[in-house]
Structure 1
Amino acid sequence: MLKHLLLAAGFLFAFVPGLSAQESADNAPAQQVLTVGTVPAARQEISKSLSFVGRVEAIERVEIVARISGYLEEILFQEGGTVQAGDPLYTIEKGLYEAALQQAQGSVESAKASVVLAEQQRSRTSELLSKEVASQMTMDQRLAAVQSAKGDAATSAANVKTAEINLGYTDIKAPIGGRIGRTSVTKGNVVGPSSGTLTVIVSQDPMYVVFPVSQREFLRTREAGQGANPDKLVVRLQFSDGAYYDQTGKVDFVDVTTDRDTDTITVRAIFPNPKSVLVDGQLVNVELASDKPEEAVMVPQSALLADQSGPYLFVVEDSKAVVKRVKLGGEHGANVVISEGLSGGELVIVEGLQFVRPDMPVNAAPISAADPS
């Protein structure tokens, strides 16, 4: 009897712990599923672009130099202002050049008289020669005198022209229209060809932007422009403060040689400049883009992660966090272009990434693309 009681007690003690463990498992709280913020991978039309550093250059740039010597009498422009072609800029004293012109004109009159006299003497000698009163030698001398007088007359006429030109140089005028710089000399100084540049005029509209492109980037630029045709490229400018110029430009020149020191090719674009926003010598950022947008998949930059194998991100598939290895195609504002790895429409995790592990259950909570991530 005692033996049967001990066996029953042992069976009871063995059964009760089993009941307690099952009861504990049934009463334990269920594991919580992580809620993550997601945005769909969007397919959008974008233009591929490349950035360079360029410098603004005026299409026309003229250094004003005095072509004759003399005292500077007047400065007729406002420094930094706008001038038109033909506007007077400087006046050099005219007295000496007016006198030189009058002297040259007097020489012309004297030469004309010499020609008349030589013609008359030749005519008389011709008559005497016909009567065999004068010799042929005398006739030859008269003919030579006529030619000499005519040569002196031509020289005198040329001297008049030179004097007129020099007198015209006393009024220095703008050869082109544009903005004019400050003057390097003031009224009362003696100026001349050796004085150097008096001031500079630069044209304003349109303007060039010149920038160097490496051989590697040049090939990428051709690809972005759908071939070698520069008309397929749209050029934009960004200033040092981050603002974009409100006019777009076009590539109008690609150099035919490569700089051997830098292995770069010089490219030039032309831009309208109606408000004189672009200034000669200004540094700008140049963006080259194709004129035909291409469809691409984009996700927020905050969704990207990286390890030794490269960039990746998490997407929600079948309520699980799944790793997607991707290849990047460049930045586009706050987003990044995915060239490989996504087809568009996938729910990309952008919030809660610090808690996400591969294949863990997650609950997708869509958020607005404008929300911080």
Structure 2
Amino acid sequence: MQQRFRKPLFVSVLASSILLASCGDAEQAAAGAGQQQQMTVGVVTISTRDVDLTTTLPGRASAFRVAEVRPQVNGILEKRLFEEGSMVSAGQQLYQIDAAMYEAELASAKAEIARAQAAVKSTQSRFERSKGLLQDKAISQQDFDEAEAAYLQAEAQLKIAQANVSRAELNLEYTKVKAPIDGRIGRSQLTEGALLSVGQAQALTTITQLDPIYVDIAQSTSDYLALQQAIADGRIETNADNRAEVVVSVGENGNFTTKGELLFNEVTVDPQTSAITLRARLDNPSHAILPGMYVRAEVGTGNLKNAILAPQTGVSRDPRGRAIAFVVNAEGKVEQRYLQVERTVGTNWVVTDGLTTGDKVIVEGLQKIQPGMPVKTEEVK
């Protein structure tokens, strides 16, 4: 009798357990749906603003001026009057060449002047007397012409002697080899006792002016043409003289930066690299940038009007490499958008298609959302 009543009791308990379990699952599903509806995501509301555009390009520094110092007279090098690697000023004496021969030439030229002056005085007196004698018909016309010619020849010899003195003084001054420009001087290629000659191939030393300094920047033709097209379309505005600002950084971490301006674009394209050379001039007071140094140049390319910027944290890529963003639409649901992005500006993408003013781009909570899911929004600053 007791065994007959155990089965119905067991079935009843089992049915009750199943009923309670199904009720629990329904309550969990309802609770999950409620949690999904109340999920809050951080969004950024899209707006338009004007953006100053820059392009980072590689470049090489080159000296503002370079002067190779060579002798202008022949002679023996007597002294070096500068410290290698120091700063020199234009007109500062660098070397002294043996001047004994040129001092003798100057003295000889001055003696020639004295003799020419005496000849002029003598012939001039004879010429003045000949004028009166000719009027009195005491001498012939031929004698007068000869006196006049002698006087004119003596004056010409005096001018030649004066020119020789100027040349001798100039040669004597050239024995003092001077710096043609301001800048940092390099090492001396020749030492005292070396024989110097005019037009020799080897320079005595080299002076390099480092402040300001040039930076030659290479820009691809595709980027250049895209920039010109954007300017023609009116999306980018530039200055009338196209003197864009350039900021140059050197070092692995960009430890040193300096500013300057873009001077001009090269008129030809390098056939090997298909690049256009841009030249910029920058201040370099501390001489941190040296000729031949690799630099990173940030070149201002204009002002983009009414740009739509999307935070980079809210833009990702699908397996095909397309840019996508999740936005909260007018119904409060998640919507996936495909974007056309052009470039980065700071921490934002410049979006040319896919977003409009007022769209709410999700930047926080992206891991827990799916398209079509209703969410609450909280503006992220």
TM-score tier (shorter): 0.7 to 0.9
Per-residue CA distance 1:117-140 (angstroms, 9 max, x = gap):
222333444455455453322322
Counterpart of 1:268 in structure 2: which amino acid? R
CA distance in 2 between counterparts of 1:292 and 1:260 reads 28
Moved more, 128-137 or 187-196: 128-137
Per-residue CA distance 1:318-351 (angstroms, 9 max, x = gap):
6754311111121245543333323466242566
The alpha-carbon deviation at position 166 of structure 1 amounts to: 0.7
Q: What secondary structure does 2:295 align onto? A: strand
CA distance in 1 between counterparts of 2:81 and 2:379 reads 66
Q: What secondary structure does 1:74 align onto? A: strand
Counterpart of 2:108 in structure 1: which amino acid? Q
Q: What secondary structure does 1:149 align onto? A: helix
Aligned to 1:267: 278
Q: Which ranges in structure 2 are unaligned for 5 or more consecutive residues?
A: 1-10
The alpha-carbon deviation at position 190 of structure 1 amounts to: 1.7
Alignment map for 1:197-346 (pairs within 5 Å) = 197-222=203-228, 223=231, 226-227=237-238, 229-231=240-242, 233-243=244-254, 245-255=256-266, 257-259=267-269, 261=271, 264-289=275-300, 296-300=308-312, 303-308=315-320, 310-315=322-327, 321-342=334-355, 343=357, 346=360
Aligned to 1:40: 44
Aligned to 2:6: none
CA distance in 2 between counterparts of 1:365 and 1:54 reads 46
Moved more, 59-68 or 96-105: 59-68
Q: What secondary structure does 1:57 align onto? A: strand
Shift of the 309–226 alpha-carbon distance from structure 1 to 2, 3 Å rule, reads same
Shift of the 66–105 alpha-carbon distance from structure 1 to 2, 3 Å rule, reads same
Q: What secondary structure does 2:247 align onto? A: strand
The alpha-carbon deviation at position 109 of structure 1 amounts to: 0.9
Structure 2 residue 26 is matched with structure 1 residue 26: no
Per-residue CA distance 1:91-128 (angstroms, 9 max, x = gap):
11111111111111111111111222222333444455
Q: What secondary structure does 1:59 align onto? A: strand
Instruction: Decide which of 186, 208, 214 is 2:191's aligned counterpart.
Output: 186
Aligned length: 352
CA distance in 2 between counterparts of 1:190 and 1:349 reads 76
Moved more, 210-219 or 194-203: 210-219
Shift of the 269–344 alpha-carbon distance from structure 1 to 2, 3 Å rule, reads farther
Q: What secondary structure does 2:254 align onto? A: coil
Per-residue CA distance 1:194-236 (angstroms, 9 max, x = gap):
1432222233333232324444433444538614634563221
Instruction: Decide which of 69, 78, 81 is 1:64's aligned counterpart.
Output: 69
Q: What secondary structure does 1:205 align onto? A: strand
Shift of the 104–50 alpha-carbon distance from structure 1 to 2, 3 Å rule, reads same
Counterpart of 1:259 in structure 2: which amino acid? V
Contact 1:41 1:297 in 2 (8 A): no
TM-score by length of 1: 0.78
CA distance in 2 between counterparts of 1:76 and 1:37 reads 75
State the Cα RMSD in Å.
3.7
Shift of the 339–73 alpha-carbon distance from structure 1 to 2, 3 Å rule, reads same
Shift of the 246–283 alpha-carbon distance from structure 1 to 2, 3 Å rule, reads closer
Counterpart of 1:26 in structure 2: which amino acid? C
Aligned to 1:7: none
Aligned to 2:5: none
TM-score by length of 2: 0.76
Counterpart of 1:201 in structure 2: which amino acid? I
Instruction: Decide which of 122, 139, 143 is 1:138's aligned counterpart.
Output: 143
Per-residue CA distance 1:21-45 (angstroms, 9 max, x = gap):
8765433343687879755366576
Alignment map for 1:98-113 (pairs within 5 Å) = 98-113=103-118
The alpha-carbon deviation at position 65 of structure 1 amounts to: 1.6
The alpha-carbon deviation at position 159 of structure 1 amounts to: 0.5
CA distance in 2 between counterparts of 1:247 and 1:291 reads 20
CA distance in 2 between counterparts of 1:92 and 1:235 reads 45
Task: Among all aligned residue pairs of Structure 1 and Structure 2, give the percentage whose two residues are the same amino acid.
Answer: 26
CA distance in 1 between counterparts of 2:50 and 2:19 reads 58
Shift of the 76–298 alpha-carbon distance from structure 1 to 2, 3 Å rule, reads farther
Shift of the 106–301 alpha-carbon distance from structure 1 to 2, 3 Å rule, reads farther
Contact 2:44 2:380 in 1 (8 A): no
CA distance in 2 between counterparts of 1:357 and 1:331 reads 27
The alpha-carbon deviation at position 90 of structure 1 amounts to: 1.4
Structure 2 residue 362 is matched with structure 1 residue 348: yes
Q: What secondary structure does 2:104 align onto? A: helix
Shift of the 53–216 alpha-carbon distance from structure 1 to 2, 3 Å rule, reads same
The alpha-carbon deviation at position 248 of structure 1 amounts to: 2.4
Alignment map for 1:76-115 (pairs within 5 Å) = 76-115=81-120
Q: What secondary structure does 1:48 align onto? A: strand
